[in-house]
Amino acid sequence: MAAAAPGEGISYEPDEKCSIALALGMGIQGVVLALAPTVLGMSLFVQAADLSQRQATWAVVAAILVCGMTSVLSAARLGPIGGGHNLLIISSTAFLAVSILAVNRAGPETFASLVVASALCHIVLARWLHLLSRIITPVVSGVVLMLIAIGVMGVAVDRLEGSSEGVTAAAEPAVALITILSAAAVAMRARGRLRLWSPILAVIVACVIAALFGLFDLEGVRNAAWIALPRPDMPGLDLTPGVDFWTLLPMFLVVSLASVIKTMTTSVVLQRVSWRQPATPDYRLVRGTVNAIGVGSLAGGLAGTLPVGTMDATSISFASLTGVAARRVGYSIGIIFVALALLPKFVAALLSIPQAVTSGYLIFFMGLLFVEGLRLVFRDGIAPQKAVIVGVSIGIGASLQGNNLMESIIGGAWGALLGNGMILGTLAALVLTAYIELSGRKRSRLEAELKAEALPGVDDFLSEVAASVGWDEASANRLRLVGEESLLSLIEASEEESPPRLIVIAQPSPAKIELQLRASLHAQNLEDRLTFLSERSEASHEGAFSLRLLSHFASTVRHRQYAGIDIITVEVERR
Q: Among candidates 219, 225, 222, 218, which has minimal Cα distance to 342?
A: 225
Structural contact between residues 23 and 14, judged by C-beta atoms closer than 8 angstroms: no
Q: Return the pLDDT at 530.
A: 42
* pLDDT tens per residue, range 19-66: 888 888 888 877 867 776 787 778 778 877 777 778 888 888 888 999
Q: What is the mean pLDDT of residues 99-126?
A: 86
Q: What is the mean pLDDT of residues 132-160?
A: 73
Higher pLDDT, 158 or 384: 384
Q: What is the mean pLDDT of residues 553-566?
A: 66
How far is the CA of 513 from the CAs of 363, 470, 478, 575, in angstroms?
42, 12, 11, 12
Q: Among candidates 192, 276, 264, 267, which has minimal Cα distance to 6?
A: 276
Structural contact between residues 378 and 146, judged by C-beta atoms closer than 8 angstroms: no
Q: Return the pLDDT at 231.
A: 79
Q: What is the mean pLDDT of residues 4-26?
A: 75
pLDDT at residue 72 tops 90: yes
Q: How confident is the model at residue 539 (pLDDT cuts 50, 70, 90)?
A: very low
- With a CB cutoff of 8 Å and minimum separation 6, the contacts of 462 are 476, 479, 480, 483, 506, 515
Q: Return the pLDDT at 543.
A: 42
Q: How confident is the model at residue 180 (pLDDT cuts 50, 70, 90)?
A: confident
DSSP secondary-structure letter at 522?
A: -
* pLDDT tens per residue, range 189-234: 766 556 656 666 777 888 888 888 777 777 767 777 787 777 777 8
* pLDDT tens per residue, range 517-534: 888 654 444 444 444 334
Q: What dihedral do alpha carbons 84, 86, 91, 96 form, nearest 10°?
A: -80
Amino acid identity of residue 415, one-letter, is G
DSSP per-residue string spanning 97-149 = HHHHHHHHHH-HHHHHHHHHHHHHHHHHHHHHGGGGTTTS-HHHHHHHHHHHH
By residue count, the chain amounts to 575
* Average pLDDT along the chain: 76
Q: What is the mean pLDDT of residues 492-503?
A: 70
As a whole number of angstroms, the distance between CA 41 and CA 362 comes to 9
- With a CB cutoff of 8 Å and minimum separation 6, the contacts of 135 are 430, 433, 434, 437
* pLDDT tens per residue, range 323-335: 788 899 999 999 9
As a whole number of angstroms, the distance between CA 434 and CA 444 comes to 18
As a whole number of angstroms, the distance between CA 343 and CA 57 comes to 11
**pLDDT > 90: percent of the chain:** 7
How far is the CA of 423 from the CAs of 20, 89, 426, in angstroms?
50, 29, 5
As a whole number of angstroms, the distance between CA 509 and CA 537 comes to 34
* pLDDT tens per residue, range 294-338: 999 999 999 989 999 887 666 776 777 677 888 999 999 999 888
- With a CB cutoff of 8 Å and minimum separation 6, the contacts of 40 are 199, 200, 203, 361
pLDDT at residue 120 tops 80: yes
* pLDDT tens per residue, range 99-111: 888 888 888 899 9
Q: Return the pLDDT at 542.
A: 39
Q: Which of 352-356, 370-374, 550-554 has the highest mean pLDDT?
A: 370-374
As a whole number of angstroms, the distance between CA 175 and CA 164 comes to 12
H helices, E strands: number in the chain? 23, 7
As a whole number of angstroms, the distance between CA 272 and CA 315 comes to 12
Q: How confident is the model at residue 70 (pLDDT cuts 50, 70, 90)?
A: very high
Q: Among candidates 506, 512, 523, 515, which has minimal Cα distance to 560?
A: 523
For the purposes of burial, counting CB atoms within 10 Å of the CB of 248, is it exposed (0-12), middle (13-18) or buried (19 or more)? buried
Structural contact between residues 73 and 82, judged by C-beta atoms closer than 8 angstroms: yes
Q: Return the pLDDT at 522.
A: 46
Domain boundaries, the chain: 20-156+234-353, 391-438, 442-573
DSSP secondary-structure letter at 78?
A: B
Q: Return the pLDDT at 523.
A: 45
**pLDDT > 70: percent of the chain:** 76
Q: Among candidates 472, 458, 452, which has minimal Cα distance to 515?
A: 458
pLDDT at residue 537 tops 60: no
Q: What is the mean pLDDT of residues 452-461?
A: 88
Higher pLDDT, 503 or 365: 503
Please state at what angle helix 20-48 crosses helix 344-351, rounded to 10 degrees: 40
How far is the CA of 445 from the CAs of 465, 491, 501, in angstroms?
10, 19, 13
Query: How many other CB atoms sit within 10 Å of the CB of residue 300?
Result: 28
Q: Report helix, strand or coil for 498.
A: coil
Q: Which of 162-171, 178-187, 395-404, 459-468 has the highest mean pLDDT?
A: 459-468
Provide the phi-psi class of 162: left if phi over 0, else alpha when psi is between -120 and 50, else beta.
Answer: left
* pLDDT tens per residue, range 383-437: 778 888 888 988 888 877 666 566 566 655 455 555 567 777 877 888 888 887 7
* pLDDT tens per residue, range 233-286: 788 888 888 777 887 888 788 788 777 777 776 777 788 778 877 665 676 787
CATH code linked to domain 442-573:
3.30.565.10
Q: Which residues pair with 569 in a beta bridge?
A: 516, 558
